[in-house]
Structure 1
Amino acid sequence: MKIIMKTGKSLILTTLLALLPVVAVQAKPLEKPATQAEAIEITWDELMPAPDQKVVDSYQAGEMSKADVIYYLDKLGQTPVTRLDKRTVKIPGYLVPLNLDKNQRATELLLVPTMGACIHVPAPPPNQTIYVKFKNNEKGIKVEEAGYTPYWLVGTLHVETTQSTYTETLYSLTVDSLKVYK
């Protein structure tokens, strides 16, 4: 086997050429409109941070009271996953209209993981509810099409707190496309 050692300019050039694809990928602008092909498909579980393994072990060993577990889960539900900020995502869910225009179209909605999730009390945790808005209020969805039909939404996810009449959310999604879930 022949081993080639590179030194000086040759090593620097080889390193730069090897890193070129990485740099090119990282230089991709985030503001580019979302497309189905570019969006990363996420699940609702990915919007909640992973639990601390020490807490899980303590719970499984019977070392935590129910009150401590409830408190911990409540705090976990109030924590966003910041690595998803400004990412183009595709996520399924149900829509809950927050407003109506003159044509009975909602342009601001909540996206929730299950049908009727915002109707019951308590509401889902803030990191399990997404505030949905359409660019420049151009689009929207007919109210009778929301609520009972699951959808795939593609758009830019933002980690930001939004307060609505129904609940607080830790994420917002600016929608680029919306399709019935199949």
Structure 2
Amino acid sequence: MTHLSRRQLIATTLSGMAVPSSLWAANPREIGWDDLIPKGVPYSEIIGEGEMDEVNDTWNPIYDANATKLNDKLNGAYVRMPGFIIPLELGSKGVTDFILVPYVGACLHTPPPPANQLVFVKADPPWPNQEFWAPIWVTGVIRTQLQSTEIAKTGYSLSADNIEFYEW
């Protein structure tokens, strides 16, 4: 039987806490966009009426309170989800910050989807590919976190440790 000193026990416990939860998970939980909406909130009730911005020639949807309701059961989960990149930060090694969106062109050519359908992603390592119209898989730890960017309000943040092309 091995006996650990109090100092060894504390050091072992603390070092285990420092390991990202993504390393604990053997396989990420694969989720889709519907999983971001809490159970009992139908997608059809997220978007209400809207108004036309005549100056900028765009349609601005008016979201109800359901648009910012988040699925708290996902907070801290290690997930893998598909989507498309809307780049926010481009560095010499690639995209480091982006919004993961459910369909191509979301936020660019149309009004942004509701906050609970947008994920702010911090990529480490950066995504070096410039094919932003291609679908991707993003894997990492997701958090429920409402925040505003220059493009849209997002409901989730994800620390990505792996990004790859979505294979049909």
**TM-score, normalised via structure 1 length:** 0.65
Structure 1: how far apart are the matches of 2:158 and 2:141?
Answer: 5
Q: Larger Rg: 1 or 2? A: 1
CA distance in structure 2 between the aligned counterparts of 1:114 and 1:78, rounded to whole angstroms = 19
> Would the aligned equivalents of 2:21 and 2:78 in 1 still touch at CA under 8 Å?
no
Where do residues 27-176 of structure 1 align in structure 2 (5 Å cutoff)? 31-34=20-23, 37-51=26-40, 74-103=64-93, 105-135=94-124, 139-142=125-128, 144-145=130-131, 147-176=132-161
CA shift for structure 1 position 123: 0.5
Q: 1:142 & 1:96 partners in 2: Cα distance? A: 14
If each structure's strand is expressed as a fraction of its own residues, which one has the higher value?
2
CA deviation after TM superposition for structure 1 residue 35, in Å? 7.8
Give per-residue Cα distances to partners, 1:11-56, cap 9 Å, x unaligned.
Answer: xxxxxxxxxxxxxxxxx97833348842111110010123359xx9
Which whole-Å CA distance do the structure 2 matches of 1:177 and 1:142 have between them? Answer: 12
**Aligned-residue offset at 1:99:** 1.1
Structure 1 residue 141: deviation in Å?
A: 1.7
Structure 1 unaligned spans of 5+:
1-27, 60-65
- Between the aligned residues of both structures, percent identity stands at 29
The one-letter code matched in structure 2 to 1:169 is T
Alpha-carbon distance in structure 1 between the residues aligned to 2:136 and 2:97: 15
Q: Secondary structure at the match of 1:50?
A: coil
Shift of 1:169: 0.5
TM-score by length of 2: 0.70
How far apart in 2 are the matches of 1:78 and 1:124?
A: 11
